[in-house]
Amino acid sequence: MNRLLVVAAVCWVLSLAPVSAEEKEFAAVDLQGKFTHKLADKFGNAARQGNFLTVPKGEHTFSGVKFKIGKGVVQLGSKIWKEKPEVIVNIEIDRKFAKLHILHATCYGGGPNVPGTVWHVKDDTRIGEYKIHYEDKSVETIPIVYGKDVRDWWFRKDEKNTSRSKVAWKGDNKLAKQYDCRLRLYLTTWDNPKPDRKVVSIDYIGRKGETVAAPFCVAMSLEEK
């Protein structure tokens, strides 16, 4: 009897243990055909020297989520970066999933752009969204709100974190260092309210004519259980 009680206790403890990234099932979303900016190219419309996104390419785990980083990002435009598109449609999914993890940020808004400057973005400004299209023609929307979901990929030491997402990666580049800034990317996790319905595609939509913020998506990963 005592042995059975011990086994039962061990099983109960194990059931409460957190699930590691290795035990979860992740599937990378293929963004390659939707890239609008290469990592090998400088960021920003001015293309100033040394302004590269230095996130490592390949498969990496950030904040417990496995992502596959490609050779580019899906970069949207803004009132500043006018040559980039406002909308990228039909990011193919074609499967069911429980959670969508998004590794993203925005150009402009914070860092050296303080309140009162042209390139500053106020917290709670909606700068875009992701539209989730299901096989049954229903649609869900994931808003992108500055200060909640993303901030500028450049940040100062005294700058706040996001309130709804979390910082998943930090790095550096030559130009940011000149302004006493670093780089960071944010992780947004969305719980699918319809996990038993197949998602056909995702649209990535900005606010090109309304804001200086130019959102970009580095990677997406689906969690299947």
pLDDT digits over 27-78, tens only? 999 999 999 999 999 998 666 789 999 999 999 999 999 999 999 999 999 9
Q: Output phi, psi for 150, to 5 deg.
A: -145, 165
Cα–Cα dist 133/200, whole Å: 6
pLDDT of residue 45: 67
Judge whether 3 lies within some domain: no
Judge whether 2 lies within some domain: no
End-to-end CA, the chain: 35
Judge whether 100 lies within some domain: yes
Q: How confident is the model at residue 225 (pLDDT cuts 50, 70, 90)?
A: low
Judge whether 8 lies within some domain: no
Q: What residues does 84 pair with on adjacent strands?
A: none
Judge whether 48 lies within some domain: yes
Domain coverage including residue 133: 26-223
Judge whether 75 lies within some domain: yes
Judge whether 171 lies within some domain: yes
- pLDDT top residue among 12 and 213: 213
Judge whether 105 lies within some domain: yes
Round the CA-based radius of gyration of the chain to a whole number and report it. Answer: 19
Residues 26 and 224: beta-carbon distance below 8 Å: yes
Q: How many domains does the chain have?
A: 1
Model confidence pLDDT, tens digit, residues 165-204: 999 999 999 999 999 999 999 999 999 999 999 999 999 9
